Amino acid sequence: MFKFIVFLFIPCVFGDATLSNRTFPDGFSFGTATAAYQIEGAWNEDGKGEQLWDWYTHTYPDKIDLGYNGDVACDSYHKWQEDIQILKDLGVQHYRLSISWSRILPNGTVNNINQKGIDYYINVLKTLKENNIEPMVTLYHWDLPIILHQMGGWTNPITAEYFAEYSRIAFKYFGEYVKTWITLNEPQSTCWGGYDSGSKAPGYTLAGLGLYECAYVHVLAHAKAYHIYDNEFRAQQKGRISIVIDSPWAEAASNSSEDVEAAQTEREFVLGLYANPIYLGNWPQVVIDNVATRSELEGFAQSRLPQFTQEQIDYINGTADFFGLNTYGTNLISHLNKPNENIGVPNYGLDKGTSSSVDPSWPSDVPWVHQVPWGFRKLLKYVYEQYNHPEIIVTENGWADKTGTLTDIDRQSYITQYLSALLDAYYEDGVNVTGYTVWSLLDNFEWTNGYTQKLGLVQVDFEDANRTRTPKDSYYWFQNVIKTKCLVEECL
């Protein structure tokens, strides 16, 4: 009865003239996403090794809202069968999940393989396949084996080597079940949060230096894994592989030429820093120029931006079979300074020379998600045109609220509007976007926000030892969208 009401009700609520009435194209893939540390729990069970976020949450509980950690999280390590049933009932075509590196390689290195960890993922992947759900597998979603962190983590190029070896193990054991691989999740968030602003583990503020080293090591690590897959596994396993890059849309705050230029510079520093080397070759020119100019004026002997050799540029360029895009909001960008102004301490924000704000009228319940569907459409078009028309898969998008309410009308509104913008990008702008993935299937451990921000289509009771799952209204609504391939009462 309840489901019946929701089906009839939702199209009326959001069925206004601004929503696209086009049908999602044949073959379009709907999915949801999670990540190992955010849902699995079992942090030290069955031989799993310690990783960065275990260490960070245990050592600095004060850095996480209410001192939470992911020791148990959604307990998906034990409840994975229930999760797959929930996915099956939802009707998704794909499920994006990540492998915990230290669950299969407790020390991060291939000299010690944990069979129990391998078995866990084989069971999950096999069961997904048996239920006609395509696994989309991320190799790294922020849970770096602790020893690699202790050796400098993403600022040490050796991490790229160990990541490549780990990826080979993953392709070898799991490749039979996986047709879509993602090497690394959101290097921008890792590098900015982990090594510049300090807002994510390991919480370092290596201003103006750490972020660029981290970007360099990420891009190398990705390319190595890509080539291993390409040379050793692709012919037999016939899958595809890429990286997931995250970015909000950067909209110029005004029509002034300075702000318009600043917005483009922002895109190059946030999105282009990671996408350029992989899709076009080398860093964006404006990043090379700005950091070189400022480094020199600051008295550095060389640019703070690591340089690629020509051999590396060629090795990295073209290492993606599609474009995995994560996005949540839009920012308004203004000009702040020219490259040769405000010289002092090294600073990534000053390297960009931009400042960022949001329009207070944009709907939002947490500071980092705003409902701006036109920004999403512009971002899709930009990525498509800027990076040589890649196939785009939206690998994460979703709405965060603080209450976790089951009657999550705001989440439905946000996703409806974003899916409508996606249809416009596809039909009106000709963008080849072939999939959409809601973050997240379950409410889960939301990094430094602990369990205080909720993004799931399914509520998880974190007070209950059983971690009871209850589908929200948005779950039933999304189920209907997947079934009808349509956002309004009747589609063309």
Binding positions for ligand BGC, rule: CB under 6 A: 35, 38, 185-186, 189, 246, 326, 396, 439, 446, 455
The HSE-up count of residue 55 (CA atoms within 13 Å, CB side) is 18
CB-nearer residue toward ligand BGC: 73 or 455: 455
CB-nearer residue toward ligand BGC: 54 or 186: 186
CB-nearer residue toward ligand BGC: 242 or 326: 326
- Looking only at the bridges linking them, the beta strands covering 249-252 and 180-185 are unpaired
CB-nearer residue toward ligand BGC: 288 or 358: 358
Q: Give yes or no for a contact between 390 and 320, defined as CB atoms under 8 angstroms apart.
A: yes
Q: Give yes or no for a contact between 53 and 40, defined as CB atoms under 8 angstroms apart.
A: no
Closest approach, Cβ 259 to ligand BGC, in A, equals: 26
- Omega cis (within 30) before 167: no
CB-nearer residue toward ligand BGC: 149 or 294: 149
- Looking only at the bridges linking them, the beta strands covering 469-471 and 134-140 are unpaired
Q: Give yes or no for a contact between 106 and 148, defined as CB atoms under 8 angstroms apart.
A: no
Q: Give yes or no for a contact between 152 and 210, defined as CB atoms under 8 angstroms apart.
A: no
Closest approach, Cβ 186 to ligand BGC, in A, equals: 5
Closest approach, Cβ 194 to ligand BGC, in A, equals: 12
SS3 32: strand
Which residues participate in catalysis according to the annotation?
A: 186, 396
CB-nearer residue toward ligand BGC: 362 or 427: 362
CB-nearer residue toward ligand BGC: 24 or 53: 53
Closest approach, Cβ 247 to ligand BGC, in A, equals: 11
SS3 141: coil
Please state, in angstroms and rounded to a whole number, the distance separating the CA atoms of residues 401 and 417: 17
Closest approach, Cβ 337 to ligand BGC, in A, equals: 28
| Distance, CA of 192 to chain centre | 14
- Looking only at the bridges linking them, the beta strands covering 134-140 and 180-185 are parallel
Token pair of 294, please? 């400022």
- Backbone Cα Rg of the chain: 22
CA distances from 19 to 65, 259, 279, 376, 420 (A): 37, 30, 32, 14, 6
- Looking only at the bridges linking them, the beta strands covering 323-326 and 330-335 are unpaired
Closest approach, Cβ 149 to ligand BGC, in A, equals: 18
Q: Give yes or no for a contact between 110 and 156, defined as CB atoms under 8 angstroms apart.
A: no
Please state, in angstroms and rounded to a whole number, the distance separating the CA atoms of residues 200 and 149: 13
